[in-house]
Amino acid sequence: MTGAFDIHTRLPAALTDRAQTGRFIADFAASWHQPLWPGDGWSAEQLAACEHRLGLALPAALRETYLLLGRRSDLTANHDTLLRPDELHVLAPAP
């Protein structure tokens, strides 16, 4: 990472406040690779269609992530990949 973004000083606030979490992610993305831009996330309509297909509402934090940066593979596929909304599925409980 480059620039003045200091993960060690910024992380504690990001872990306790949702607004700080969004700012942390945006600032991290800008310092690490490129800033977040409109269109980096999935639309609310696309997520609503996903939720309808699944028959459930996505958890708030996951929904916010998809809206903010869900299409940014540089941020969502470095280790474990964030699935596209059309790839999400619900596993049946084990018998």
Q: What is the mean pLDDT of residues 76-88?
A: 92
pTM here is: 0.84
The pLDDT tens digits of the residues spanning 55-81 come to 999 999 999 999 999 999 999 988 889
Q: What is the mean pLDDT of residues 27-54?
A: 94
Q: Is 5 exposed, middle or buried, given 0-12, 13-18 or 19+ CB atoms closer than 10 A?
A: middle
Interatomic CA distance for residues 39 and 1, integer angstroms: 23
Interatomic CA distance for residues 57 and 36, integer angstroms: 25
Q: What mean pLDDT is reported for the chain?
A: 91
Rounded percentage of the chain residues whose pLDDT exceeds 90: 68
Q: Is 11 exposed, middle or buried, given 0-12, 13-18 or 19+ CB atoms closer than 10 A?
A: middle
- DSSP character at residue 37: -
